[in-house]
Structure 1
Amino acid sequence: MNRNVILTCAVTGAGDTTAKHSGVPVTPKQIADACIEAARAGASVAHIHVRDPETGGISHDLEHFREVMQRVREADTDIVMNITAGGGGDWIPSAEDPTRGGPGTDIQTPAERHAPVAELLPELCTLDCGSLNFGDMVYVNPADWLREHARLVQAAGVKPELECFDLGHVWFARQLQQEGLIDGDPLYQLCMGIPWGAEADTETMVAMRNKLPSNANWAAFGIGRMQMPMVAQAVLLGGHARVGLEDNLYLDRGVLASNGQLVERSANIIENLGARVMTPAETREQLKLRNPVGATAAGDLA
């Protein structure tokens, strides 16, 4: 069991959830406010995507990331910032010609995915460790793209969170480490319950955990109704945890949640198990993260 838990809040994601829950943050200000809310509720880390403020859909706009980062860094509440670098991998075959991407396809090169990280220098960024049948689409992330992306993250001095949606992703993440593309003790995130990747159950989590390097820090999350059970299971198996509106919209059956409420409930679970949630400062020390004060300053918010 892990007695000192890093608790991440993934505050918005990129999925089509805004139509289901009006409280999902969309604008950079709303996303920043959600990070601050999560911090005040006790989260150690905020994981962010950005969205198109007009449509609520996926966005990779550097200026949206910049505004979120600046607003959070200028707040009086501390939290470790984790920028997604996993966007731009969505492939949806065209109905007319399945050899080409149809509506909703969104592909970026590793350099394009890395651009906000290189510019804003967060303490953490995600590195999705393989391709996947992600629901009804395919998430595309070939091995050579991953190697290139890992080199870019390494050169920026940002710690990658190695997101693993299936057991083969853990295998490849270990390969990146063996090739010298991951510095220090690696940080893994076991992403569970997303069709058609790793199932959100004890057997699958144990299998993935047992394949991690001996020096790994690791966390796990489940989506939907499995969010809180996976918090408890991860802590009991020695890991850290993640919650937030990216992964689950509900506090109880039929009751929509806020990010702060999800953090508070998961923190209660952690504490009731006899553990505690680590502060952002303790998290930086545990993961050996860069000092956020040294990050590139963002421009003025006009």
Structure 2
Amino acid sequence: MSNKVMMSCALTGAGETTAKNPDVPVTPKEIADSAIKAAKAGATIAHIHVRDPETGKLSHDVNLFRETVERIREADTDIIINLTSGGGGDWVPSDADPTRGGEGTDIQTPEERHEPVKELLPEMCTIDCGSTNFGNMLYLGPTDWLRRHAKMVQDSGVKPELECFDTGHVRFANQLYQEGLLDGDPLFQFCLGIPWGAAADAETLSYMKSRVPENSRWASFGIGKMQMPMVAESVMQGGNVRVGLEDNLYLKKGQLATNEQLVDKAAGIIQSLGSDIMTPAEARQELNLLNPYGKEA
């Protein structure tokens, strides 16, 4: 068990959650403010999607990312910025013609997915390491696309977080590392409990962490009611953690949460297990990150 744990807060995500919890942040100001509150509650890293301020739905607009990032960078409270670059992967076959995408399909090329990272040079960004069934939708991540994407991230100098929703994703992330498309020590995020990917339980986590290179660092999260149990399990198995409204809307049954409340609750679990939370400065040293303006720390 590590004495220092990195805690990510996934602030808003891309799902249809804004009608279910009014504290899911939507505008760049709301997302930035939520990141700052999460940082004050103890979060090390802010994982950021953006939403259309008018509709609340997922957006890929670089200007929305820019405003959000600038607001966080200008704040007095420090937190590491981790931008999603896994957007634009949703494929829903059309009922009329299953060879074409139907309503809900949203596909971006690797170059389009990478655009906010290229423009803003955050300290970290995600790479989703394969295709997966995501409920009744397919998340599309062909391996040649992922190689192109990994190379662009590598060239940017930004640290990739390798998001693995199933065991095959871990295998492919290892392949990226073996092919020289990842610099430094790999950083894995095990995304557990999403239908129909890897299960959110101790056995699955133990297996996935056993399959990464020895010099890797890893975190995991569970969705919904498994968010806090997986915080505890990750700490007990020597990893890092993620919480936030992207993955879970409730503080407890029947009580809606804010991001800072989820961070505070997770911090209590971490500390009760004898560990503590890394500061952003400590995590930058641990991960050899760029600073927020694209230079080495």
* Distance of 1:281 and 1:184 partners within structure 2: 18
2:10 corresponds to: 10
2:252 corresponds to: 252
* Distance of 2:17 and 2:82 partners within structure 1: 21
- For each residue in 1:43-72, what CA deviation from the matched residue of structure 2 results, as whole angstroms up to 9, or x when unmatched? 000000000111111100000000000000
TM-score w.r.t. length of structure 2: 0.98
Identity of aligned residues (%): 66
> Which stretches in structure 2 are left out of the alignment for 5+ residues?
none
Q: Is the 8 A contact 2:129 2:141 kept in 1?
A: yes
* Distance of 1:294 and 1:287 partners within structure 2: 15
Backbone CA RMSD of aligned residues? 0.7
* Distance of 1:256 and 1:74 partners within structure 2: 29
* Distance of 2:212 and 2:180 partners within structure 1: 16
Report the CA distance between 1:273 and its aligned residue. 0.2
Q: After superposition, where does 1:284-295 map in structure 2 within 5 Å?
A: 284-294=284-294
1:123 corresponds to: 123
Say whether residues 1:96 and 2:101 are aligned partners: no
- For each residue in 1:159-190, what CA deviation from the matched residue of structure 2 results, as whole angstroms up to 9, or x when unmatched? 00000000000000000000000000010000
Question: Equivalent residue of 1:152, what SS?
Answer: helix
1:300 corresponds to: none
2:235 corresponds to: 235
* Distance of 1:122 and 1:112 partners within structure 2: 16
Report the CA distance between 1:113 and its aligned residue. 0.1
Report the CA distance between 1:35 and its aligned residue. 0.5
Q: Is the 8 A contact 2:29 2:71 kept in 1?
A: yes
* Distance of 1:56 and 1:23 partners within structure 2: 12
* Distance of 2:116 and 2:13 partners within structure 1: 16
Question: Equivalent residue of 2:246, what SS?
Answer: coil
Question: Equivalent residue of 1:208, what SS?
Answer: helix
1:32 corresponds to: 32
Say whether residues 1:173 and 2:177 are aligned partners: no
* Distance of 1:205 and 1:13 partners within structure 2: 22
Say whether residues 1:195 and 2:195 are aligned partners: yes
Question: Equivalent residue of 2:213, what SS?
Answer: coil
* Distance of 2:92 and 2:171 partners within structure 1: 26
2:159 corresponds to: 159
* Distance of 2:90 and 2:128 partners within structure 1: 13
- For each residue in 1:129-187, what CA deviation from the matched residue of structure 2 results, as whole angstroms up to 9, or x when unmatched? 00000111000000000000000000000000000000000000000000000000010
* Distance of 2:107 and 2:27 partners within structure 1: 23
Report the CA distance between 1:294 and its aligned residue. 3.9
Report the CA distance between 1:3 and its aligned residue. 1.4
- For each residue in 1:243-263, what CA deviation from the matched residue of structure 2 results, as whole angstroms up to 9, or x when unmatched? 000000000100000000000
Please tell me the residue identity of whatever aligns with 2:29: K
Paired residues, number: 295
* Distance of 2:199 and 2:16 partners within structure 1: 21
1:206 corresponds to: 206
2:220 corresponds to: 220
2:141 corresponds to: 141
* Distance of 2:267 and 2:242 partners within structure 1: 10
Report the CA distance between 1:96 and its aligned residue. 1.0
Report the CA distance between 1:293 and its aligned residue. 3.9
* Distance of 2:291 and 2:92 partners within structure 1: 39
* Distance of 2:253 and 2:126 partners within structure 1: 30
* Distance of 1:294 and 1:226 partners within structure 2: 35
1:299 corresponds to: none
Report the CA distance between 1:99 and its aligned residue. 1.1
* Distance of 1:49 and 1:198 partners within structure 2: 23
Please tell me the residue identity of whatever aligns with 1:255: Q
* Distance of 1:221 and 1:32 partners within structure 2: 22
Report the CA distance between 1:82 and its aligned residue. 0.1
* Distance of 2:18 and 2:102 partners within structure 1: 22
Please tell me the residue identity of whatever aligns with 2:187: L
> Which stretches in structure 1 are left out of the alignment for 5+ residues?
296-302
Report the CA distance between 1:103 and its aligned residue. 0.7
Instruction: List, as ranges, runs of 4+ consecutive aligned residues in structure 1 with deviation greater than 3 Å.
Output: none
Question: Equivalent residue of 1:21, what SS?
Answer: coil
2:265 corresponds to: 265
